[in-house]
Amino acid sequence: MSKSLSAPSISDFNQSLLGFLQASPTPFHATSSMVSILLSAGYTELFEDQAWQLKEQAGYFIRRNDSSIIAIWLADKSQALRLVGAHTDSPCLKVKPNASLCGKGYFQLGVEVYGGALLAPWFDRDLSLAGRVHVRIDGKIESALVNFERAIATVPSLAIHLDREANKGRTINPQTQLPPVLSIAGAKDKDLNSILMAEVARQLAKENPGSEEQLESILDYELFFYDTQPPAIIGLDNEFIASARLDNLLSCFIGLQSLLESDKSQNKLLICTDHEEVGSASACGAQGPFLQQVMERIWPSNEDRNRIIAGSMMISADNAHGIHPNFSDRHDQNHGPMLNQGPVIKVNANQRYATNSLTSAIFKQLCDDVGVSYQTFVTRTDMGCGSTIGPITASEVGIETIDIGVPTFGMHSIRELAGSEDAFELTKVLKHFFEKASLTE
Ligand SMILES: [Zn+2]
């Protein structure tokens, strides 16, 4: 059996996690961050429009739409597969196509709300802008990642003097109240395209001096606002991690660390897909054919592939709701996961989570094997339940699946909160999942 990488200490682990969150303001950047880590671990990129020559005892990864990624370690093609799944996207404000607004003397950008964002926390933040831009450069269409990095916008609150009812259940109109303010418009109208041209040229000049002169035009973009406040360890005794996008870049990071730190004895696969927050129905989302098509190319024979699927298991990792001390009535009295008390097994009678008693038993055994405590979440019976990629992947591919995740507060806020020990503990469990010889023994 090959030696695995030595496991880092919890503080090194958390510092790497904070760095990953900071470097990944959009699904495109998250995928690019994972690509860099996989390349430095010796994984080879496979391209979907080319023929594949796969070897055993080798690591590969495949990108789709620059925002979803599958990484696979092929130990022995006759073995079943251990899968971990997560998602790369998070709720946020996405810039509209014709976004520039200059009507009131200020330069603003029109935005759509991407996913189920908590809108109130977006006010009074120092916002930056990042995403993917398609440009024409030297006569060709090319894509470029762009990240302004510095704070260039804000959504100012309305003073309480102008809305005395503000603290009494104020509603937010996303069309009229959310367009961020970028600058004072001045005499000359500003427009996003020329700002993007300048920014892309600046980034090209930095990466490859001279190439900026070939830049002809901006054709289109997918741009998202994000909070520039860096991720941080906070709390009197450093108990918490505060950051944007913990849902679900935390799980992407855990999955990737587990994949790379575990030994090389098992076939293991990490899938991180975009568009979970809007239902996963896209070419690169969990409801699309990405995983199925990759598996068809690794195991072209139906008979072989169906045998592999029947023996495989997937852990779908996405954050859970910790019980909030100020809102404890929102949880079932026997199912209130605490921060820093271990990963949460998510259960739902209506298959909003894919967990069943077999996959739950296997996960509990994995936790026991490595001395990690676990908790269980089921929603109050008089409340609806969220969902994730677990049931979607299970129903698309037919793999036994469990839904688990790290307990957090403020899910879908611009700044969420997790325990500073849970990510590290869950990594131990997933690493063990990726290397245990038999999951039922
Ligand atoms: Zn999520």
Distance from the alpha carbon of residue 143 to the mean position of ligand 1, in angstroms: 27
Task: Please tell me the predicted confidence (pLDDT) of residue 2.
Answer: 44
Distance from the alpha carbon of residue 245 to the mean position of ligand 1, in angstroms: 9
Distance from the alpha carbon of residue 389 to the mean position of ligand 1, in angstroms: 8
Distance from the alpha carbon of residue 247 to the mean position of ligand 1, in angstroms: 5
Distance from the alpha carbon of residue 430 to the mean position of ligand 1, in angstroms: 18
Distance from the alpha carbon of residue 318 to the mean position of ligand 1, in angstroms: 5
Task: Please tell me the predicted confidence (pLDDT) of residue 299.
Answer: 97
Task: Please tell me the predicted confidence (pLDDT) of residue 185.
Answer: 82
Distance from the alpha carbon of residue 203 to the mean position of ligand 1, in angstroms: 31
- Residue type for position 436: K
Could you list the mean pLDDT of each consecutive 10-residue stretch along the chain, which spans 441 residues?
63 97 98 98 98 97 98 97 98 97 91 97 98 95 95 97 90 96 80 93 91 94 98 98 98 98 98 96 94 97 96 97 96 95 96 95 98 96 89 90 98 98 98 97 90
Distance from the alpha carbon of residue 57 to the mean position of ligand 1, in angstroms: 32
Distance from the alpha carbon of residue 174 to the mean position of ligand 1, in angstroms: 22
Distance from the alpha carbon of residue 412 to the mean position of ligand 1, in angstroms: 8
Give Cα 4 to chain centroid, integer Å.
25
Distance from the alpha carbon of residue 44 to the mean position of ligand 1, in angstroms: 28
Residues 327 and 321 sit within 8 Å (Cβ to Cβ):
no
Separation CA 102–CA 343 (nearest Å) = 48
Separation CA 174–CA 64 (nearest Å) = 31
Distance from the alpha carbon of residue 248 to the mean position of ligand 1, in angstroms: 5
pTM of the model as a whole: 0.96
Task: Please tell me the predicted confidence (pLDDT) of residue 5.
Answer: 53
Task: Please tell me the predicted confidence (pLDDT) of residue 104.
Answer: 84
Task: Please tell me the predicted confidence (pLDDT) of residue 80.
Answer: 96
Distance from the alpha carbon of residue 60 to the mean position of ligand 1, in angstroms: 25
Residues 414 and 334 sit within 8 Å (Cβ to Cβ):
no
Distance from the alpha carbon of residue 382 to the mean position of ligand 1, in angstroms: 22
Task: Please tell me the predicted confidence (pLDDT) of residue 103.
Answer: 79
Distance from the alpha carbon of residue 428 to the mean position of ligand 1, in angstroms: 21
Q: Which two tokens stand for residue 402?
A: 């469990």
Distance from the alpha carbon of residue 277 to the mean position of ligand 1, in angstroms: 7
Distance from the alpha carbon of residue 386 to the mean position of ligand 1, in angstroms: 9
Distance from the alpha carbon of residue 251 to the mean position of ligand 1, in angstroms: 9
Distance from the alpha carbon of residue 87 to the mean position of ligand 1, in angstroms: 7
